[in-house]
């Protein structure tokens, strides 16, 4: 009986360990929402975002979001489900230029690309988040 209880405990422990390991996605493609720091619009359809201190991603939008280019614009992001962002579908992105009225225009992210160190270094200083 003891051996059976021990085997059951080991099986449950091993299963828990595997599920915990798979809960955290691959580092290069994903980031935690806590680590999202800043953004900069390259144009009305392209954003660069900075994660942590030196990781960068490029967000390509489905359609034009002209409010991104407004001097007073800010992003309104909502995160649903997991606290990890790994692809375009994880974004619920809106942009607003008036935080008092609260109107925000949706901007659908079509593609999210993790930049390599050399690609990030090639971003002109004026376009860096």
pLDDT for 27: 53
Cβ contacts of 47 within 8 Å, gap of 6 or more: 39, 40, 41, 58, 59, 61, 68
| Class of residue 58 by CB neighbours under 10 A (exposed 0-12, middle 13-18, buried 19+) | middle
Model confidence over 1-37: pLDDT tens digits?
444 443 434 443 444 443 334 455 555 689 999 999 9
pLDDT for 102: 67
In the predicted structure, residue 84 carries a pLDDT above the cut 50:
yes
Burial 9-40 (b: 16+ CB within 10 A, else e): eeeeeeeeeeeeeeeeeeeeebbeeeebeebb
Rounded CA-CA distance 47/36 in Å is 13
| Class of residue 99 by CB neighbours under 10 A (exposed 0-12, middle 13-18, buried 19+) | exposed
What is the pTM for the complete model shown? 0.75
pLDDT for 69: 92
pLDDT for 17: 41
pLDDT for 24: 52
Quote the Cα angle for 80-105-40, to 5°. 80
Taking CA atoms, 10 is separated from 1, 13, 27, 111, in Å, by 14, 5, 29, 42
List the domain boundaries for the chain.
31-127
Model confidence over 86-125: pLDDT tens digits?
999 999 999 998 766 768 899 999 999 999 999 999 999 9
């Amino acid at each position: 009986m003891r051996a059976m209880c021990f085997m059951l405990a080991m099986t449950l422990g091993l299963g828990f360990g595997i599920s915990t390991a798979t809960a955290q996605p691959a580092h290069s493609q994903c980031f935690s929402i806590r680590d999202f720091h800043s953004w900069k619009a390259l144009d009305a359809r392209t954003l660069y975002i900075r994660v942590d201190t030196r990781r960068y991603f490029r967000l390509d939008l489905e359609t034009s979001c002209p409010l991104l280019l407004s001097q007073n614009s800010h992003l309104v992001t909502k995160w649903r489900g997991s606290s990890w962002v790994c692809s375009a579908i994880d974004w619920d992105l809106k942009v607003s230029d008036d935080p008092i009225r609260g109107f925000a225009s949706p901007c659908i992210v079509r593609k999210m690309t993790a930049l390599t160190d050399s690609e990030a270094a090639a971003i002109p200083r004026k376009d860096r988040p």
